[in-house]
Amino acid sequence: MIIPRKTSFISLPRISVIAGHTFTQLVRMKVFYFLIIFAVLIWALKQFVLGTFTGGDTASEQQLRLLKSTSYFAMNLFSIVMAISATALLIPKDIEDRTLYTILCKPVPRLDYLIGKLLGVLLLIFVSLIFMDLLLSVMLHYNTQSLIASEISLMGAGGNSEVLQERITTLNAHGLTNNIHYATLVIFFKAAVIASVALLISTFSTSTIFTLILTIIILLIGMIQADARELILKASERGETSIISKLSMFIVLVFPDFQLISVDDGVIDGKIVPKLTLLKITIVSFFYVALYTSLSWFTFRKKEF
Amino acid sequence: MTDSGVTRDIAVEVRNLVKSYKSSFKRQTFQAVDNVSLQIESGEVYGLIGPNGSGKSTTMKAVLGLISPTAGSCRVFGADSTRVDARSEIGFLPENPYFYKHQTSAETLRFYGKLCGIRGKKLTNKVNELLELVSLEHARDRRLGGYSKGMLQRVGLAQALIQEPQLLILDEPTAGVDPIGSREIRDLILKLKSQGVTIFLCSHLLEQVQEVCDRVGIIFEGKMVNEGTLEELTEIRNQHEFIIKNASPALVQDIEDLIANNQQAEVVRSGKPRSSLEKLFIDTANEQKHNKKGNKS
Ligand SMILES: Nc1ncnc2c1ncn2[C@@H]1O[C@H](COP(=O)(O)OP(=O)(O)OP(=O)(O)O)[C@@H](O)[C@H]1O
Ligand SMILES: [Mg+2]
């Protein structure tokens, strides 16, 4: 007599099989070409732009700032575009191609499938960000050292050693510190939250375009909601409570605050990321990812194909 | 499984299955499967036949838990189909199977094997064995994007067998496969049957269904209209059939004269024989259409 084997609800090996497959699938879609573009961009920046900054005390900082802001812009762009499009495309594609039939007919719980897909996309983003972070770090280190060397040779002749020391400290603060990696990590967290939003939407939407548009709208709401919240707070201090303010309080609760999950602006200015802030961002990101993934499962659980 | 005995040998049990879909514009619902019940015993080969759109694939999807029944229930080896556990012993070949185009057939089989929890050397051996079984060794390292329909069908079959399931659900297993291949698939089904695997299939190739199935159900517009063992279904009790080889026209004339002289007997049909299941199928379909017309007027 045959008794079906018990299948555990969440199985890490199974999730990693799906995640690994999703990762390979994306790699074979040639997304890593972006990294080549990134490398070329950074190289061109160094070769043709950075050298042209001359004179003035802040010129050196400007150079480092430009390097960082360009890199972070590219990292943000890549991770957000990947998080939205890969997540929004892959699951509907599985449904449309009916590959999902064959997967769900194996003893694979639907939650495992969702988590696997999400992790696959995130793995790809993570690996790409590590690559970009490494490249940025090398460039930043190299540039900072050469800037410091040139300042020393410039001021060394008759300069005040105290002033020189201060310059070196400033330049080092703008150069390669752990804050650079923290900013990258936070970019990854932001992408994770966005991907989980896209995952949720793709479980109930009937078209990929709809998923893309709705995710972008939520992303935009998330980016401006901190400002909106401030406005409302001011309004309510003046005693004006309207439907709009109640509505926006609801929005604040449901939609992620992407301004909170962002430190790269500060790092570009050479500021330090406090450990507490980093911890807070980590917790908030995990909370949102878990929330949206559970909601996705809720709608995906009973879905019919 | 507490009360054995009755439910012991049942591999698939579909009880009063109803599946209705909303027709998009009108308010009314459309019943793709209407109160279908069937039981497949362990080790049996069961064939579901019926015209296009009669609800065969829908019934199979309900057994697989891909759709949830509007009413009724499906059980696989005693476990409810909506549970993941039920799927550990099922291999499924969907109609027109599609897999990830970027994978090769070997990668595809490895992927599905890993999903079933098979690893390492065992998996490698299994993959090689299955690729040989479905004659795809020569194409094992080509991406599926370039596979033909019949080749994909073969990959689908191999994928269904990866975890050595006790129940195989095959939705038109030979669609698009060449004659030799479909003969091989038939032989494979018979071989698996001899190993005690239960098989639930549907097909439009009635000759094949007749060759492999122990029991057949005929489904028409979502309703099970006829079901039984092949002998039961195809036997017509008050008739007798001769199939004569090399009969001269004179002999045929003599036989016809003999029957004509008999008081009771009459010739119902004479001519070249054809597969009786096919005849049954067409007769049933005609009968149903006739009944419908009769009901309307
Ligand atoms: N998701 C769905 N939404 C609406 N109607 C559906 C859906 N799936 C199936 N149907 C309808 O249910 C009926 C049965 O479909 P099913 O695929 O089971 O037929 P079938 O017997 O497998 O036909 P074929 O021989 O062509 O494979 C059809 O009329 C089909 O249009
Ligand atoms: Mg069908």
A with B: how many residue pairs have Cβ under 8 Å apart? 100
A249 within some domain: no
Residue linked to tokens 């009771």 = B264
* Paired tokens of A17: 């099989």
Yes or no, beta carbons of B84 and A7 under 8 Å apart: yes
Question: Within 13 Å of residue B108, how many CA atoms lie on the same side as its CB?
Answer: 33
A286 within some domain: yes
Alpha-carbon span B32 to B54, nearest angstrom: 7
CA-to-CA dists, residue A246 to A59, A229, A268, B70, B240, angstroms: 48, 11, 36, 40, 84
- Asked if residue A128 lies in contact with residue B140, where contact means CB atoms within 8 angstroms, the answer is no
pLDDT digits (tens, 9 = 90+) for A110-127: 999 999 999 999 999 999
- Residue B123: its pLDDT value, please? 94
Tell me the pairing of strands B29-41 and B10-22.
antiparallel
A305 within some domain: no
Alpha-carbon span A136 to B284, nearest angstrom: 74
Yes or no, beta carbons of A13 and B88 under 8 Å apart: no
Vertex B193, ends B109 and B75: CA angle to 5°? 80
Q: List, as one string, the DSSP characters of B185-236.
A: HHHHHHHHHHTT-EEEEE-S-HHHHHHH-SEEEEEETTEEEEEEEHHHHH--
Alpha-carbon span B187 to B182, nearest angstrom: 9
- Asked if residue B182 lies in contact with residue B17, where contact means CB atoms within 8 angstroms, the answer is no
Q: Which residue has the higher pLDDT, A147 or A248?
A: A147
- Asked if residue A95 lies in contact with residue B94, where contact means CB atoms within 8 angstroms, the answer is no
- Residue A1: its pLDDT value, please? 62
Alpha-carbon span A271 to A273, nearest angstrom: 7
CA-to-CA dists, residue A236 to A59, A246, A254, angstroms: 44, 10, 20
A229 within some domain: no
pLDDT digits (tens, 9 = 90+) for A58-115: 777 888 888 899 999 999 999 999 999 999 988 888 888 888 888 999 999 999 999 9
- Residue B168: its pLDDT value, please? 94
Give long-range contacts, CB 8 A cutoff, 24+ apart: A226-229.
Answer: A226/A257, A226/A259, A226/A260, A227/A259
Question: What residues of chain A lie within 8 A of the CB of B102, using their CB?
Answer: 24-25, 28-29
> Averaged over A37-45, what is the pLDDT?
87
Q: Domains along chain B? A: 10-99+165-234 (3.40.50.300), 239-297 (no CATH)
Yes or no, beta carbons of A21 and B100 under 8 Å apart: yes
Please count the structural domains in chain A.
1
3-state SS, residue A298? helix
CA nearest ligand 1 atom 19, residue = B53
Model confidence at A51, pLDDT cuts 50, 70, 90, reads low
Residue A152 belongs to domain spanning: 12-48+57-223+258-300
Closest by CA position to A288, among listed A190, A173, A179: A190
Alpha-carbon span A283 to A186, nearest angstrom: 11
pLDDT digits (tens, 9 = 90+) for A152-188: 887 766 667 788 888 888 888 888 888 999 999 999 9
Ligand 1 atom nearest to B56, measured from its CA: 21
Interface of B with A (CB under 8 A): 1, 4, 8-9, 11, 42, 61, 64-68, 76-79, 84-90, 92, 94, 96-100, 102, 111-112, 114-117, 156, 159, 163, 166
- Tell me the whole-structure pTM to 2 decimals: 0.85
> Averaged over A273-289, what is the pLDDT?
91
Nearest to A5 among B66, B88, B112 (CB): B88
Buried b (16+ CB within 10 A) or exposed e, A278-300: beebeebbeebbebbbebbbeeb
Closest by CA position to A121, among listed A164, A60, A80: A80
Longest Cα–Cα distance of chain A, Å, equals 94
> Averaged over A207-232, what is the pLDDT?
85
CA distance A35 to chain B (A): 21
Question: What is the CB neighbour count within 10 angstroms for residue B76?
Answer: 30
- Asked if residue B23 lies in contact with residue B178, where contact means CB atoms within 8 angstroms, the answer is no
Residues contacting B150, CB < 8 A, separation 6+: B176, B177, B178, B181
Backbone angles phi, psi at B49, to 5 degrees: -125, 155
A90 within some domain: yes
Alpha-carbon span B99 to A101, nearest angstrom: 10
A233 within some domain: no
Alpha-carbon span B189 to B187, nearest angstrom: 5
- Residue A158: its pLDDT value, please? 62
A189 within some domain: yes
A7 within some domain: no
The segments of chain B whose pLDDT lies below 70 read 1-8, 25-26, 236-238, 272-276, 296-297
Tell me the pairing of strands B215-220 and B223-229.
antiparallel
Alpha-carbon span B219 to B47, nearest angstrom: 11
Residue linked to tokens 């932001």 = A190
